[in-house]
Amino acid sequence: MSVAIAVRDPGGKVYVGGDSAVISSSTGDVGIATLATASNPKVFRIGQYVIGGCGSPRILNVIQGMEWPEPEGELDRPFVTREIITPIQETLGNHNVAMMAHEGGEAIFKVQLIIAHGNKIYEVTPELAVIEYQDDFLAIGAAAELARGVLWTMDKTAKPKGAKDRLVMALTATSELTVVSRPPYVIMDTEA
C-alpha cells in the first residue's frame, strides 16, 4: 500500500510523488507479509494528468494503460466522476479484474488514487468518491497520516523552500518512520 502524496505550489503547479514499496502477504495460515521494492512506479502520467496510486498493483497496471480525455476548460469533480472513474470501472471489468473487495458487507475499490491536472488535486477513495480538498496537499495509502502530519506541520510553521521540497520531506519521513514505505521516490509535476 505505501504512500502517494500531492503538493500544490503557490503558482498552481502540482507535484505528485510516491514511494516504491510493495507489500505482499501470504494467503496461508501463517500470514507472512513481505516488503519489496517495485520497479514499476505508482506515480505516472496519462496525457496531462499525473496519477498517484496505492493498493492493487494489477489495477494500477490496467489504469496506467488507459487514455483519459482532456476537459474543455478547468477540470472539475463531475468530469472526473463521469469521464475517468466510470471508464476505469468499465475497463477493469473488460479485463476481468476484481476491482472490489468486501469488508463488513461493504464493497470497496482496491485502490486509492490521486489525480492531479493543472492546479487541481483530487482523491478517489475506496468507495469511488471523488473529493477535492481545500488544502494544498493530499496523501493516500498506509503512511498517509504521517505524511499529512509532516505537511500540516510545515504549513503551520515556516514553509521550507518549495512544494517539491515539502513533498520530498514528507516522503522521506514515511520511509524513515514506517515499515510500509521505501525509496526510491518517483516525483512528477503537472507542468507539461
The domain segmentation of the chain, as residue ranges, is 3-189
| pLDDT value for 58 | 84
- Is the Cα dihedral 38, 145, 162, 134 positive or negative? positive
Does the pLDDT of residue 1 top 80, yes or no? no
Query: Beta partners for 5?
Result: 17, 139
Can you state the angle between helices 144-156 and 163-177, rounded to 10 degrees?
140
| pLDDT value for 82 | 95
Q: Which single residue is written with the C-alpha cell 496506467?
A: 64
Mean pLDDT of 99-103: 61
Mean pLDDT of 144-162: 84
- Is the Cα dihedral 144, 147, 149, 152 positive or negative? negative
**Predicted TM-score of the model (pTM):** 0.86
Does the pLDDT of residue 127 top 60, yes or no? yes
Backbone angles phi, psi at 128, to 5 degrees: 65, 20
- For residue 93, the SS3 value is helix
pLDDT in tens, 48-73: 999 999 988 888 988 999 999 999 98
- How far is residue 129's CA from residue 125's CA, in Å, rounded to a whole number? 5
| pLDDT value for 80 | 97
CATH code: domain 3-189 is: 3.60.20.10
